[in-house]
Amino acid sequence: DQVGEWSLALDPRGGSARGKSARRSQRERVDVFRSAVDEGRAAAIREPGVHLTVTDVLIKAVAVALREYPRLNAFAECDRMTLKHQINIGVATAVGGDTSSASGDKAPHTAQAAPSDGLLVPVIAQADCKSVVEISARSRDVTAAARRGVVAPNVASTFTISSLGKFGICQFLPIINPPECAILGVGSIEPRAMPIQGGLGVREMMTLTLACDHRAVDGAYAAGFLNSVKDRLQNLDGILPDKERR
């Protein structure tokens, strides 16, 4: 259904004896993320009324990193893996219950997890081709629609992001949304002690956890993707146009 797709044979040794896919968790902490996001917000916002969230910047970083690691932007079914031409980022969204924003931003008070009517995954289609401001506007629209129980039926996500940061969850292992190959779990941004220039300091950090189908990728490939996302978040590489970073 997408131009430019191509298929690869999956290695059945990556799954269990019954042919089920094996899941592998890779984790990477993102350092000084808050300062990078604040810099990006100041540089990218050129018009009143635009508010970038951590999730907006994260969607762009993930989309650009998926260009480097296309095996994670794929569907795994039976013995075949289909690499997707378009990079469509899904954002897991609770339906009903608490309808506040599901971003990774740190709030003054931790939100309470109200009962919901399940999850929907609104999609930011071709996120790698959109600016972070365009992603922000589109994300608000599709997330609000999802909370009303409406998602576009003709656009399928190729990679999903799930955030529990607003509930004070530091890290978690999300469940892959089949037939996708991977999903990224986003924890809360919080102050953590760490070595800084030979001493001890406090930095605002977050933990990203990648769950992936081990038939499609190995641990080294998954770790490379996480490192690419981390570098882009901290350096804003590929997230903002050069003229916006001055």
pLDDT tens, residue by residue, 178-225: 999 999 999 888 888 888 888 998 888 888 999 999 888 888 899 999
Burial of 246 (0-12, 13-18, 19+ CB in 10 A): exposed
Name the band, by pLDDT with cuts 50, 70 and 90, for residue 4: low
d(CA 39, CA 100): 25
- Give the active site residue among 51, 85, 109, 214: 214
pLDDT tens, residue by residue, 37-78: 555 555 555 556 677 888 898 999 999 999 999 999 999 887
Instruction: Judge whether residue 113 has pLDDT over 80.
Output: no
| Whole-structure pTM value | 0.79
Active site residue 109: no
Please list, in sequence order, all residues whose beta carbon lies within 8 angstroms of the beta carbon of residue 39, skipping any fewer than 6 positions away: 236
For the chain, how many helices (H) and strands (E)?
5, 12
Show the DSSP H helices in the chain as ranges.
33-44, 54-68, 132-147, 219-235, 242-245
Q: Is there a contact between 81 and 216 (Cβ–Cβ < 8 Å)?
A: yes
> Which one-letter DSSP state was computed for residue 83?
E
Predicted pLDDT at 21: 44
Predicted pLDDT at 101: 41
Name the band, by pLDDT with cuts 50, 70 and 90, for residue 130: very high
- Mean residue pLDDT across the chain: 77
- Of 135, 66, 70, the closest CA to residue 103 belongs to 135
